[in-house]
Amino acid sequence: MEVAASLVGKASSIHVVDRGHVPYQLVLGEQVGRVALKMLQAQGVQFHLKAEVEELQGQDGKVSRVVLAGGHQIPADVVVVGIGVVPNTAFLQGSSIALDRSGAVLVDLFMQTSLPSVFAAGDVASFPVALLGGECAPIRHWQIAQAHGHVAAFNILGRQKALHTVPFFWTRLQAKTIRYAGCGRGYTDTVLKGSLEQETFLLFYIRDGFVTAVAGLNVDPMVSLVAEVLDSGRSISKEEAEAMERKALQKT
């Protein structure tokens, strides 16, 4: 999506192929995904949603078209593949180091694996996420990898330190930045403040009656402020999110 946004005005045509109904569906959900979709469609980016790439065709090592399942063809000079990451942990299978179902290495809050004195950090690690009540999940952001490395180093040195961080990332689409904090995995409800149509909103992701994540556009520094509250260990109930003053969304 970021590559597509940055190519507006430079490439003669830009196509995004995605399995989801909307871009960012898995992380940001349907509502924010639809905002991002409209933002890029307004710039002429063409989307092929609920679609899959079947084949890249070309000659002499140069791509010339993308073929989708179902046969639709998109002429292409350049193809950028952004399809996620898979832990490269096959070599650990059958060892005493426990992996989750996706192959990520399970660690505790000290980044220690199931084998004492062996630590894992970053994208490869599935760690207890406080916002999910301690449920283990891999969260693949730069800031998380940095926090993991920091905590792992302390514990390797014997200076016991537990992980304490709220995941945070942002995505920049042209001049607009969608910020996100927390971990919305398994959310069942959302609370919207502001307007998705007007691209000025704060969206709370709710699980078991409490905020587990928040996304925002054009409402700085609201996402950071919510992240600070969550980082302090204070929970935000759905009712508190609903009661948040609309004026809090005014641009700073």
Ligand X SMILES: Cc1cc2nc3c(=O)[nH]c(=O)nc-3n(C[C@H](O)[C@H](O)[C@H](O)COP(=O)(O)OP(=O)(O)OC[C@H]3O[C@@H](n4cnc5c(N)ncnc54)[C@H](O)[C@@H]3O)c2cc1C
Query: C-beta of 171: minimal distance to ligand X in Å?
Result: 6
Long-range interactions of 59-66: CB distance < 8 A, separation 24+ = 66/15, 66/17
Q: Which is nearer to ligand X, 29 or 122 (CB)?
A: 122
Stretch that binds ligand X, among 128-136, 138-146, 189-197, 216-224 (CB under 6 A): 138-146
Answer yes or no whether residue 224 interacts with ligand X by CB under 6 A.
Answer: no
Ranges within 160-179 binding ligand X (CB under 6 A): 169
Collapsed DSSP state (helix, strand, coil) of residue 88: coil
Q: Which is nearer to ligand X, 3 or 69 (CB)?
A: 3
Stretch that binds ligand X, among 16-24, 137-145, 191-199, 220-228 (CB under 6 A): 137-145
Answer yes or no whether residue 145 interacts with ligand X by CB under 6 A.
Answer: yes
Among 14, 123, 211, 222, binds ligand X (CB under 6 A): 123
- Going by C-alpha positions, the residue among 146, 137, 145, 150 that lies closest to residue 110 is 150
- Going by C-alpha positions, the residue among 245, 239, 197 that lies closest to residue 225 is 245
Q: Which residue number places its CB atom closest to ligand X?
A: 122
Answer yes or no whether residue 122 interacts with ligand X by CB under 6 A.
Answer: yes
CB distance 47 to 37 below 8 Å: yes
Query: C-beta of 135: minimal distance to ligand X in Å?
Result: 19
Count of H-run helices and E-run strands, the chain: 5, 13
Stretch that binds ligand X, among 25-33, 67-75, 135-143, 232-240 (CB under 6 A): 135-143
Which residues, at least 6 apart from 222, have a Cβ–Cβ distance to it below 8 Å? 202, 214, 216, 248, 249
- Going by C-alpha positions, the residue among 186, 201, 193, 170 that lies closest to residue 32 is 201
| Integer Cα distance of 64 and 58 in angstroms | 5
| Contact residues: ligand X, CB under 6 A | 88, 122-123, 140-143, 145, 169
